[in-house]
């Protein structure tokens, strides 16, 4: 009950996953005391399910802690629920173990995950059960995953069983519907459970070593590309919690989970549904694309035109995930340094939507990437992250230079944000040219790419800034002094090449399960740090070294940190 400013009268408010209900009439604590007392007595008579617990026919408490003595419980450890194996129709009793993730909130999905065990001998893998109140208008997650798997999409979770239990309209809200009919603004939700193989969070991997962050990006680019063009599906919720990993022998394979917000799309990459399948914007705020956040902020404006979630937005979320992983996941003991490293990404979830959008816009500036503080474990990835940044700069330039009277592919920003283009750019196999870049900007980029400016910090070359050693100085100057540029007056896009004959061949860094925990930044020689930055005709070209032999986007832990 909420009272007004006089603390004498108020309305009754009811909250659940589907939304909020309030009474039109007010109730005075003094003038309507009898009604108020009757309400308190009614509350005291409520069953646990009426207070918000799951109905007893869905999930049962352990015999050692029955209701109502243990209500509300601290967690659902030991609770059981019935499920059915698909195909065989075998009845299975699932017992919840320790909680893994809980989304706290009054309205919305209220997603929570538990490790589970079953009484079925067919289910031998470690498994988790995900529970959530999903909008009934959304496709079931297991159906979307099955379509994607049948289309040949990889990096998907292995689903074992699922269940759909009850709708919000069948519970307390049924009273409202029976009296006045369903409110057109009401969005019904259904309580669903899906059980899949238990995977490991990114933090478990990147807290020890960041060498596989590029591998994660390449594999997720594969997954997003195949989802879109093989299965005609958009994931629409790329985040740190929705990308996980597991071991396949000695190889690390990343998995994309949580398809609650996924949608089928047409040939142009637009959602097939003509109406929104949910009244809430899809995505997780710190990883949402800039355009989508601005769209949320401007939704109240009279002439507002909604932004359509497309593939380019999922790719942008992957870019944010890369920066988030590099700054928040490496283990840092010092509290002050940890706060400094996380300053940029922390601003992606605090404050107004307008401020968050502004902070994300800063992440598309090369100066931001070159000056932001990075933990020693991820410092060698700065040139790689810079190339990722310049990919989006190039896409923006493509959008600005388009001919308005001609068709334009907004889904990939004119072919700039495709899997193959991004992967080639990140690996240094493709040049990115941006106009109006001054020599001072290039010089600053060179200094930052070599890790200068951080006292005693590990640079991208695998050396330290401690002292003024000649070896470290030569490593920073070599790419500029030994690079020559062809005559750019012979045509646009003139190629550049390295004429240094004594330059050492780049070596690939091999990461194994045994040496990952012991890996240090000083042992990493990222090819990206040896990128050549050349200024020609007011343009900046970023070109990576030539690598011998083919490079594939393999699902392997023995990954080449592509530079």
Q: Which of 39-48, 128-137, 229-238, 477-486 is predicted least confidently?
A: 477-486
Tokens 């009811």 belong to residue: 14
Q: Which residues contact 425 (CB under 8 A, 6 or more apart)?
A: 387, 388, 390, 391, 432, 542
Report pLDDT digits (tens) over 94-107: 999 999 988 777 77
- Residue 83's H or E segment, with its range, is strand 80-84
Specify whether the CB–CB gap between 280 and 309 falls below 8 A: no
CA distance 241 to 202: 8
Report pLDDT digits (tens) over 276-326: 445 555 678 899 999 999 999 998 888 888 899 999 999 999 999 999 999
Neighbours of 507 (CB within 10 A): 10
CB-based burial label for 561 (10 Å; 0-12, 13-18, 19+): buried
The pTM of the full predicted model, rounded to 2 decimals, is 0.74
Sheet holding 251-256, edge to edge: 200-201, 243-248, 251-256
HSE-up (13 A, CA, CB side) for residue 245: 24
Q: Please provide the DSSP assignment of 496-529 as one string.
A: EEE--SSPPPP-PPP--TTTTTT--GGG---GGG
Report pLDDT digits (tens) over 461-519: 333 333 333 333 333 333 433 343 444 444 433 333 333 333 333 333 444 444 444 44
What is the per-residue pLDDT for 485? 41
What is the per-residue pLDDT for 433? 55
Q: Please provide the DSSP assignment of 333-389 as one string.
A: --HHHHHHHTHHHHTTSSS-HHHHHHHHHHTTSHHHHHHS---TTTGGGHHHHHHHH
| 53 vs 364 pLDDT, higher one | 364
Q: Which of 28-42, 214-228, 310-324 is predicted least confidently?
A: 28-42
Question: Three-class SS of residue 447?
Answer: helix
Specify whether the CB–CB gap between 361 and 353 falls below 8 A: no
CA distance 225 to 205: 24
| 140 vs 513 pLDDT, higher one | 140
Pick the CATH number of 202-543 from 3.40.50.920, 3.40.50.620, 3.40.50.2020, 1.10.510.10: 1.10.510.10
Q: Which CATH class is domain 80-198?
A: alpha beta
Domain edges within the chain:
2-45, 80-198, 202-543
pLDDT over 70, % of the chain? 70
Specify whether the CB–CB gap between 233 and 148 falls below 8 A: yes
∠ CA 357-360-362, nearest 5°, is 115
What is the per-residue pLDDT for 468? 36
What is the per-residue pLDDT for 70? 65
Q: How sure is the predictor about 183, in pLDDT bands with cuts at 50, 70 and 90?
A: low
∠ CA 240-246-247, nearest 5°, is 145
| 241 vs 9 pLDDT, higher one | 241
Tokens of 346: 């922390």
Q: How sure is the predictor about 527, in pLDDT bands with cuts at 50, 70 and 90?
A: very low
What is the per-residue pLDDT for 380? 94
Tokens of 250: 């000695």
Max mean pLDDT among 29-43, 426-440, 539-553 falls in 29-43
Q: Please provide the DSSP assignment of 214-281 as one string.
A: HHHHHHHHHHHHHHHHTS-EE-----TTTEEEEEETTEEEEEE---TT-EEB-TTS-BS-SS-SSSS-
Q: How sure is the predictor about 182, in pLDDT bands with cuts at 50, 70 and 90?
A: low
| 17 vs 332 pLDDT, higher one | 332
- Report whether pLDDT(153) > 90: yes
Q: Which of 354-363, 379-388, 422-431 is predicted least confidently?
A: 422-431
What is the per-residue pLDDT for 197? 96
What is the per-residue pLDDT for 357? 93
Report pLDDT digits (tens) over 399-441: 999 988 899 999 999 999 999 999 999 998 877 655 554 323 4
Q: How sure is the predictor about 3, in pLDDT bands with cuts at 50, 70 and 90?
A: very low
Q: How sure is the predictor about 460, in pLDDT bands with cuts at 50, 70 and 90?
A: very low
Mean pLDDT of the chain: 76
Tokens of 175: 């009273």
What is the per-residue pLDDT for 222? 98
């Amino acid at each position: 009950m909420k009272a007004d400013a006089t603390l004498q009268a108020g309305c009754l408010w009811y909250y659940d996953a589907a939304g909020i209900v309030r009474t039109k009439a007010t109730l005075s604590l003094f003038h309507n005391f009898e009604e108020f007392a009757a309400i308190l007595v009614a509350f005291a008579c409520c069953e646990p399910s009426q207070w918000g617990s799951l109905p007893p026919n869905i999930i049962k408490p352990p015999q050692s802690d029955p209701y109502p003595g243990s209500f509300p419980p601290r967690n659902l450890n030991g609770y059981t629920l019935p499920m059915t194996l698909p195909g065989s129709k075998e009845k299975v009793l699932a017992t919840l173990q320790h909680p893994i993730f809980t989304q706290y909130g009054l309205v919305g999905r209220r997603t929570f995950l538990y490790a589970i065990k079953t009484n079925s001998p067919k289910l031998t893998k470690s498994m988790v059960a995900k529970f959530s109140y999903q909008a009934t208008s959304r496709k079931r997650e297991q159906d979307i995953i099955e379509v994607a798997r049948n289309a040949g999409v990889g990096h998907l979770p292995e689903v074992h069983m699922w269940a759909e239990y009850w709708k919000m309209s069948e519970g307390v809200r049924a009273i409202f519907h029976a009296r006045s009919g369903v409110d057109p603004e009401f969005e019904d939700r259904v309580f669903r459970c899906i059980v899949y193989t238990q995977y490991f969070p990114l933090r478990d991997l990147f807290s020890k070593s960041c060498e596989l962050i590029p591998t994660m990006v390449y594999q997720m680019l594969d997954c997003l590309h195949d989802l879109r063009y093989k299965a005609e599906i958009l994931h629409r919720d790329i985040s740190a919690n929705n990308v996980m990993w597991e071991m396949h022998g000695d190889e690390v394979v990343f998995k994309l989970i949580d398809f609650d917000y996924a949608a089928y799309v047409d040939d142009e990459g637009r959602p097939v549904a003509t109406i929104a399948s949910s009244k809430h914007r899809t995505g997780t705020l710190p990883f949402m694309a800039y355009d989508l956040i601005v769209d949320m902020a401007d939704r109240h404006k009279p002439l507002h035109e909604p932004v359509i979630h497309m593939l380019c937005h999922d790719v942008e979320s992957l870019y944010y995930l890369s920066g988030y992983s590099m700054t928040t996941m490496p283990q840092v003991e010092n509290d002050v340094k940890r706060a400094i490293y996380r300053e940029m990404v922390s601003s992606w979830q605090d404050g107004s939507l307008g401020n968050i959008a502004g902070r994300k816009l800063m992440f598309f500036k090369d100066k931001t990437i070159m000056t932001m503080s990075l933990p020693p474990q991820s410092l060698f990835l700065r040139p790689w992250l810079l190339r990722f940044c310049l990919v989006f700069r190039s896409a923006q330039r493509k959008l600005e230079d388009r001919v308005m009277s001609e068709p334009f592919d907004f889904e990939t920003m004119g072919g700039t944000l495709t899997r193959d283009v991004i992967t080639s750019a990140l690996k240094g196999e493709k040049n990115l040219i941006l106009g109006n870049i001054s020599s001072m900007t290039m010089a600053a980029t060179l200094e930052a790419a070599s890790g200068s400016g951080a006292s005693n910090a590990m640079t991208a070359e695998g050396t330290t800034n401690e002292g003024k050693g000649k070896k470290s100085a030569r490593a920073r100057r070599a790419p500029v002094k030994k690079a020559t540029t062809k005559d750019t007056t012979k045509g646009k896009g003139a190629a550049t090449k390295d004429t240094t004959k004594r330059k050492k061949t780049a070596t690939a860094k091999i990461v194994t399960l045994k040496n990952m925990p012991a890996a240090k930044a000083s042992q990493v020689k990222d090819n990206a740090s040896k990128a050549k930055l050349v200024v020609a005709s007011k343009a900046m070209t970023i070109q990576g070294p030539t690598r011998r032999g083919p490079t594939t986007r393999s699902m392997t832990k023995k990954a080449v940190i592509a530079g």
